């Protein structure tokens, strides 16, 4: 009987230790896919040093909508889904000034969801932009330090802007978001766009006075940062201590 009771105590100890070690972080922070586009009649105007997301005019904001495939769940509301057209995105300078990165993307009808900006770019080292529409030619940046990447295609030029940041809600956790904004300039070469932005040459329908305008879209992954919560670290530590004590007693 004594041997049976000892065996049962050891099994219970093993079960308790396993429960402690298997307790993981609750996924309470924002997570999912975020695909965005400009609102009807909107777009983006870029210069060598600024990004102006269009509509509404003024206030340092542009109108942004969630595109097909968006499904971000979070604590305190939501989920944020495709077709929510009440979002705002902040205009930027390069590099962003104080305050432009806080609530960089946000939706007025979901006030507990926040997308802060941490990083734009980088661009590429090549500053010799292609003068032909050949997708085999290398991508370029407009100037040194520019976060925009100009890539020639068979029909025009695609401009991409990578961005990343932190997403948070009413939970104590923070997520990471990472992806790209893209815009298209049909029939325009990268070299023509580079000249229009740096020298102010005009491209009918797109560029005037060093500013180029087009529509845009963006695609981002929102993932929970792989850092355990403090309570989980405490439980894991307690489990390891309990395991060490158990082994010491068995050996004794």
* 109-152 tens-digit pLDDT: 999 999 999 999 999 999 999 999 999 999 999 999 999 999 99
**Torsion angle, alpha carbons of 195, 198, 202, 207, to 10:** 110
Whether the pLDDT of residue 242 is over 60: the answer is no
CA-CA distance, 156 to 188, in Å (whole number)? 5
What φ, ψ does residue 59 adopt, rounded to 5°? Answer: 80, 0
Decide if 246 contacts 10 (C-beta within 8 A).
Answer: yes
pTM of the predicted model as reported, rounded to 2 decimal places = 0.78
């Amino acid at each position: 009987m004594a041997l049976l009771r000892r065996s049962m105590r050891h099994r219970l100890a093993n079960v308790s230790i396993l429960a402690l070690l298997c307790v993981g972080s609750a996924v309470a922070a924002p997570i999912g896919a975020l695909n965005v586009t400009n609102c009807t009649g909107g777009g983006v105007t870029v210069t060598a040093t600024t990004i102006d997301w269009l509509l509404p005019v003024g206030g340092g904001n542009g109108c942004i909508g969630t595109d097909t495939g968006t499904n971000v769940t979070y604590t305190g509301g939501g989920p944020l889904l495709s077709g929510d057209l009440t979002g705002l995105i902040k205009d930027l300078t390069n590099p962003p000034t104080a305050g432009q990165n806080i609530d960089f993307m946000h939706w007025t009808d979901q006030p507990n969801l926040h997308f802060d900006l941490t990083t734009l770019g980088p661009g590429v080292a090549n500053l010799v932009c292609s003068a032909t529409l050949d997708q085999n030619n290398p991508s370029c940046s407009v100037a040194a330090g520019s976060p925009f990447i100009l890539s020639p295609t068979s029909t025009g030029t695609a401009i991409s802007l990578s961005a990343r940041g932190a997403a948070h809600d009413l939970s104590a956790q923070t997520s990471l978001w990472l992806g790209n904004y893209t815009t298209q300039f049909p029939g325009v070469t990268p070299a023509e766009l580079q000249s229009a932005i740096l020298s102010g040459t005009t491209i009918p329908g797109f560029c005037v006075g060093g500013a180029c305008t087009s529509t845009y879209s963006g695609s981002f992954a929102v993932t929970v940062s792989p850092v355990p919560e403090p309570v989980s670290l405490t439980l894991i530590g307690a489990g390891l201590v309990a395991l060490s004590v158990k082994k010491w007693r068995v050996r004794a």
